[in-house]
Every structure is written in structure tokens, then in C-alpha cells.
Amino acid sequence: MVGLRERLAGRRMLVTGVTGFMGEALLERLLSDFPETSVVALVRPRGSHSGSARVTRMLRKPAFRALREQMGAAGLAELVARRVEVIEGDLASVPDLPADIDVVVHCAGEVSFDPPIDDAFRINVGGLQELLRALRAGGARPHLVHVSTAYVAGLRSGHIAEGPLPHEVDWRVEQAFASRVREQIEDASRSPENSARFRRAGRVRFEAAGAQTVSGEAERLRREWVARRLVSAGGERAQVLGWTDAYTFTKALGERWLEEHHGDLPLTVIRPSIIESALRRPFPGWIEGFKMAEPLILAYGRGELPDFPASPDAVVDIIPIDLVVNATLAAAATVPPVDSPAYYTVCSGFRNPLRFQQLYEHVREYFLTDPLPQRGRGAIGVPQWPFAGAAAAESRLRRSERLVGAAGRVLSQVPTSSMRVRQVAGQLERAQARVAFLRRYSDVYRAYTKAELVYVDDATRVLHESMDASDQVEFGFDPCAIDWEHYLCRVHCPAVTAVLRRPRAAASPRRLSGHLPAGEGVLAVFDLDGAVASASVVESYLWMRLSDLGGVARVRELAGLAAALPGYVRAERRDRGHLMRAVYARYAGVDPLELERLVAQAAGEVLLRRVRPAGIRRVREHRAAGHRTMLLTGALEAVTAPLAPLFDDVVAARLEVGPDGLCTGRLASSPLVGDARAAFVAHHARLVGADLSVSWAYADSQSDLPLLRAVGNPVAVNPDVALLQVARGAGWPVEEWSVAAGSRLVAGSRRERVAVAAAARAQAAVAPRVGGVR
């Protein structure tokens, strides 16, 4: 009997999706064990990396470790250069392919369970159409091996035989619909009603940051809405026609298109079930990325999956990747008649079934024996599943969604930037992420757990038995060889949890000090209020106003300020500039020279006692690196005088002075808040020759988002909740800068102590409502 190597010797094999999970495993096997088979790889360029560069980078991955150790990196590169031809292209535009291709193994495709409907059709149906066009244009007449999925069977029950699918869905109608639906949803997203809804949502979150930030948030929400609707359209259309999701639906229609159009090309369809980590090759446990089961296994191991909506006696049809690759190679070497396509289901559920109860017990045994570590808290305990059923699991999930939703609404009304609030916000974000994870996987897997299918693999068994005995050992794909306890507890779970078990250094706050490259053309912009110092426009007013008032007048002023607070709250919610104008209106009739005297005698020292030492150090580090420093604040120019020597530029609020030499209660120019700050800094950078892409900004409030987004190095300092969420999502550094111990209540004179105490009381009254206002 001729062996598998000999049957594929001299063949030229085109592989699509070679950088994907199965394509990578297939290429490794061909390079290792089929020395006389050459490969043509269709590879899509990505970013600045060409297709050839991507293949070269792939050779550094663990799958090729044995080859690297055997041949050396240079030897492996030489082997690939000799045996692999890379053709750049993707399934949307395939160049004409060489005429001497003997076999095509089509691994590429959209494999996520919930893709947008147009993407799923474009790749899983349109990609096949483009591939066959390119083959015929180049004159090739290869054996076409199409890697599909066992789940093309759809929402059925019972035994599913190998062969064509029994359905009458017209792929032409569905593909045409999918090509139109994005345009329809895009149009709907721009309707007046939806536009107003997105704008309102943007204002709720970022009104204080300015109109441009609100508009940007509204557009982001619109794009997210479009994406969700496209995903929903795919899932709903698939399920109404009898499939679990858009992935299996479009894979099924891709098969139907091939059956109608393969023409004179021999056709083989490979239908693997749930592909998981390798049993043996390239080494036990090898896996790239998370597949179907891994997120659930890891969530269970972290104690975050209390139950799952599945029947304990349902079959979980898992098949290791190397068995799928071996079956694909055997099928590629077995050319069917042109008029009789071959179908092979590569699965385990018919001849070596793994029940959900068994899967749970093996995984639980693994984590009980070797639990995941919890940093600083010992081992993580895992829950015992009651298998209460889908209805109970859904009820519990909805209850959790309501709880985190209510907590989020409460927290959104607390804009204070205290460390405790940020800690609570972080805890809530993690809870929201866990609930969102459970919702996504519950929705994705619900249809799979309801479909009680048994995939029959009779033809695949015959294919395996037709091989030479030695090939059955070396290239076997008999699922009966899988010992589930060994595979799950000794191979698969250790592989997927390895990254969580790697020792990590103890967590420490990220410090930016000492990492400033010297150079010109760098601007460092610091917000005074909340970043460099712990102060606000309300506190500044109190320092100034109360420090020179007697007892009765002080009480009267505090009473007036308390009465004005509700108006300040409303003003701040509309626009931070409104709050500044409202507070500074209280300076009407004040002598500006008297303000300067008060700063020199009392308020200036109070401000210096409220500075954050880490902020001052950071300013000095920027100056030492040759950077131009700027203090940008809504505080009065007079208040900033004690800190002015630290900065090259100070930009602060200035009060208008009337003909009588007294303050009018109006600002000399519009306050720099929100978008205006970013525009001013961009203009200033042009004047001084600074490059904003390498410049820095430090701020604490969501109203400073435009400023932070304008520079290449944004830093959130003691951020309010809204800014903290944005910073974490964007990967910005988050710094905690504290006021020196005891500085809030230390002042030299009795007058200063009165001013500071009054300011503290007013701040306590304002903070829960106005919070982030500076």
C-alpha cells in the first residue's frame, strides 16, 4: 500500500489561511513530514508587514519550535524559501493563481460565532467565489479541499450523516440581502431619532468636555450601534432559517455554492467539530489563541462561572487540531470523482462521546488538584455546578445585569476623584466585564447547547482504515484514541492555563519618573486644579474672600455661597465655563490690587501647602529634560503667582477691570475649558515650535479629555470616574499624586486656618455634587 507521503510527493499544494490556527498546524506538518510536497501560501498583508514577512514571523512561533531546534533558525528559513511560495492577497481580491497547483486546502474563513452579516457572507461565500475565479483564471484544475464545520448541520437533533446538506435556502437571495443590509442599517443609524439619542448619550457622559468630545462620543455610539445591528441581523437571519449563527449559516451556504460551481474540479469537504489543542503534534497542548471552550474553562477556574445552560448528558464534540490536520492530508491524497464530492466529518461524538457532565467533572478535578493562584490571597476556589437548566441560568444572569447596571448609574452621579471612588469604579468595571462575558457566551452557546446532535463519521473512519498501518500510527485521526481524562487534565487544561500561572512581579504603581527623553520641541502641559494642587475655583474664592472678613461677614458669605451651590451644580453640568463665570461673578467690586495682597499674605501660602509633591517633581523633571512647561488652569492669574517660577508659560483666568479700577465680575476672555483647551494648546505649540505628538499633558477631569487626546503622552492624574474609564480603555498611565501629609490643615496664622477650614467645609459640601469642577 502506498503511504501518505508518497501519495502527496511532487504535489504542489495551495493553502489559504496559513497564518490561522489550522493553517499554521498544516504548514508545520507539511514542512516536517512531507519533504517532496511544495506549498503555495495565499497570505494577506497586514499593516506594514507583507505576506512574506508574516510567514517569516510565524516561523518564530511555538508550533515550529521542533523544526527550529532541528535545523536552526537559518536552516528553517532556507527550507521555507525553497519549499514555500508566498502569494500576497486576501479572499476579497485573489490574484490569478499558478496553473500547476495540484491541491487546494481552503482553511481561511470568518470563524467567529457572531460576525456582522455582511462580513460573514463576504468571506465565507464571496471568498470561495473569488478563490475559484482566480484558480480558473490561472488555468489550474486542482483537487479542492474545503475546510468547513460540522455545525453546518444547523439546528437539528439526532444523528447527522456525512453528505450534502438537506436544505433549500437560496444562497443568491441571502448573499444579495447581506450586501444590502449594511447600507440599510447605516442609513437607519443616521435618522434624526437615532442621531438625537446618540447625542443625548454623549452629552450625559462628556458634556463637560465640550461639543467636539460629545460629537465624537455620539459618532462612536452610532458605529457601535451599527456593528451590533449587523451582528444581530446575521444571528436572527441564521436562526430563522435553521442555523445556530451567522458563522454556521454562511459556511453552509458556502458549501452549497461549491456544490453548484466546482464544475470539473474534484471537491472534498472537511467538517471538523469543535477544534481544540493538539493531542500530539506539533506538541501536546499546542494551541493558538482561545477557541470555543477555553474562555469557559478559564472563567470556571477563576471562580466566575457558577453554572452553564447545558444538559449534563449532552455531547460536547471536541476534536484535537492534529487529528483534523491528519484527516485533511489523508483527504487531500484521496481524489474523489468529479461528479461525486467527498464529505468527511472529523469528530469524536459518535464513537468516543464526551458528555457535558464528564467535561465538567474532568475540568473541576483539574482545578481542585491544581487551582489557579490568586495574587496575595492563595488559591481560587471553583464552584460546583447545579446544572439548574437554561431558565435558571438566564434568570441569574439577568439579575446580575440589573445589579451592575444600577451600581453603574449610581456611580456615574459621583464625579469625585477620590481614590476610594476610583477603587469602587475599578471593582465595578471588573464586575461589568464578568457579567458581559457571561452574557456573550450564554447567547453564543445557547443555540449549540440546545442542538442535541450526534455527528456520524462513517466515511472518515473508512478513510482512516484505508491508510497504511504505519500511517495510521503516524498520521492517524481515530477519535477512539483519545483518553478524555488524560487529554483534559494532563494536556488541554495545563496548556490553556499556563499563561495565568507564570510568576509575575508584585504589582506596584506605575511611575513615570526617570523615563523622560531629553529634547527640544516637547511641551508639558499641567492642569493646576486637581493635578499639581488640590484646589478648585470655589476653594480659591473662599481663600480670597474669607481671609479678610470678620465673623458675621464670613457667616453671611458662607450662607450666600451655600444658597448658590445648586445653581453652580446646574452650571457645571451644562458647561464647566458656566461654573467659572458664576463663581467669578462674586468678585464684582473687588480691587484687583487687594487680590494680589491677599495672595501674598494668606491664600498663596495656603495654595503652596495644597500642592502635590509628585506633581512638582514631575514639572522639574520635564524642565531638566529640556521640555517647555505650561500651567493651564481655570484659577485666577493672581492665585497662580506662587507657582509661576516653575513654568515657562502660565495660562490662567483673568478678571475684567472696569473704568473705576474694580473687578466687574466678568472674565477678560472666554474661559479655556473642554475643546477650547485643546485648541489653545495646539495654537501655542505652533507658536513655540512644539510637536504635540511627543508632548505631554496632565489632568484629572473628564472636561480635560480634549487636551489629553491632543498630545502623544496623556497622563490621568487622580482622575474622576469618567476620565478613569477612558484612560483605562485607552491604556493611558494613571497616576496618584497626593498632597503632603497634614498639609490640608496646616496654616501659619489664625486667619489662614479659618480660611482653610472654611474652604474644606465648602469643598465637602460641593464635592458630592460638583466633584470634578475645578
Of 66, 57, 24, give the one whose Cα is nearest residue 41. 24
Q: What is the pLDDT of residue 553?
A: 55
Q: Which of 21-30, 333-342, 393-402, 701-710 comes out lowest in average pLDDT? A: 393-402
pLDDT of the residue at 567: 54
3-state secondary structure 334-382: CCCCCCCCEEEEECCCCCCCCEHHHHHHHHHHHHHHCCCEECCCEECCC
pLDDT at 546: 52
The pLDDT assigned to 742 comes to: 47
Q: Which of 326, 320, 333, 349 is nearest to 268 (CA)?
A: 333
pLDDT at 641: 78
- The yes-or-no verdict on residue 758 having pLDDT over 50 is no
| pLDDT band, very low/low/confident/very high, at 354 (cuts 50, 70, 90) | very high
Mean pLDDT value across the chain = 83
Q: Is the pLDDT of residue 504 over 90?
A: no
**pLDDT (tens digit per residue) in 16-38:** 999 999 999 999 999 999 999 99
Mean of the pLDDT values across residues 374-393?
Answer: 77
Give mean pLDDT, residues 666-692.
Answer: 88
Query: Which of 107-116, 318-327, 427-436, 726-735 is most confident?
Result: 318-327
Q: Residue range 290-319: average pLDDT?
A: 83
- Here the cell at position 27 is 504548514
Give the per-residue pLDDT at 766: 34
* Arithmetic mean of pLDDT, 405-413: 65
Q: Which three cell numbers stand for residue 182?
A: 449594511
Between the CA of residue 51 and those of 42, 111, 169, 758, what are the distances in Å?
Answer: 8, 21, 36, 67
Residue 257 reports pLDDT greater than 60: yes
pLDDT at 572: 52
> What number is the average pLDDT over the span 180-189?
95
Q: What is the pLDDT of residues 225-241, one digit of tens each?
A: 999 999 999 999 999 99
Supply the pLDDT for residue 760: 38
Q: Amino acid letter at 303?
A: G
- Where residue 403 falls among pLDDT bands split at 50, 70, 90? confident
pLDDT at 757 over 70: no
Cβ–Cβ < 8 Å for 222, 229: no
- 675 in Cβ contact with 690 (< 8 Å): no
Q: Give the tens place of pLDDT for each residue, 571-630.
A: 555 566 777 787 778 778 888 887 777 766 655 566 666 678 888 888 889 998 999 999
CB atoms within 10 A of CB 304: 17
Q: What confidence score (pLDDT) does residue 67 get?
A: 94
Contacts of 337 (CB under 8 A, 6+ apart): 266
Q: Is 196 exposed, middle or buried (0-12, 13-18, 19+ CB in 10 A)?
A: exposed
Q: Quick one: 23 exposed, middle or buried, by C-beta within 10 A (0-12, 13-18, 19+)?
A: buried
pLDDT at 396: 72
515 or 731: which leads in pLDDT: 731
- pLDDT of 584: 78
Choice among 52-56, 440-444, 485-489 with the minimum mean pLDDT: 440-444
**Confidence tier at 446 by pLDDT (50, 70, 90):** low
Quick one: pLDDT at residue 389? 67
SS3 for 653-704 is ECEEECCCCCEEEEECCCCCCCHHHHHHHHHHHHHHCCCHHHCEEEECCHHH
**Is the separation of the CB atoms in 547 and 603 below 8 Å?**
yes
* Residue 401 CB partners (closer than 8 Å, separation 6+): 435, 439
The reported pLDDT for the residue numbered 547 is: 53
Residue 459 has pLDDT above 70, yes or no: yes
Phi, psi for 738 (deg, rounded to 5) = -105, 155
Predicted TM-score of the model (pTM): 0.78
Task: Give, as one character, the DSSP assignment of residue 743.
Answer: G
Residue range 465-475: average pLDDT? Answer: 95
- Are the C-beta atoms of residues 319 and 313 closer than 8 Å to each other? no
